[in-house]
Amino acid sequence: MWEYFLVFLGAAIPWLEMAVVIPLGIITGLNPFWVVVIGFIGNMVTVLALIIGYNKFKIWLAKRREGKVQKESKRSERAKRIWNKYGLPGMLLLGPILIGTHIAAFIAMTLGGSKKQTTIWSAISIALWALIFGILTALGFDFFVREI
């Protein structure tokens, strides 16, 4: 049971997220269905917390950055290119593989996405990628196990 808690916790941690946790959970022998479901929930909980707490974070960040010159990171530049080309759905659908779900949701909010639309598209994206990672890992791992 604690293994599934680790899947939840790992999926909730930015930069570790589902792309690593779901394949690892399946490869270690956990039930692929529950790994995908728990990975989705773990990732979505922290993305929702980020979306809900965005306004407080924005105020805190503005106070912290007062008088400082900030250089834009390469991730932010890439995110803006995606936003300009594909909009909110594209940002959040491509986010998990390009910049991470948490960063994609944060940047979507920063660039003007509403909480409702960001939540909806984040949920769709996280569910889609959880399924993709789960199915590909289960099929790929099964293929390698049969060949050995």
* Per-residue pLDDT in tens (0 to 9) along the chain, 148 residues: 889 999 999 999 987 788 889 999 999 999 999 999 999 999 999 999 999 999 888 888 788 877 777 777 787 777 778 778 888 898 899 888 888 899 899 889 988 889 999 999 999 999 999 999 999 998 886 655 555 4
The amino acid present at 20, given as its one-letter code, is V
Domain boundaries, the chain: 2-64+72-147
pTM: 0.80
Annotate 95-105 with b (16+ C-beta within 10 A) or e (fewer).
Answer: bbeebbbbbbb
Longest dimension (CA), the chain: 61
Q: Which distant-in-sequence residues (6+ apart) come within 8 Å of 61 by Cβ?
A: none
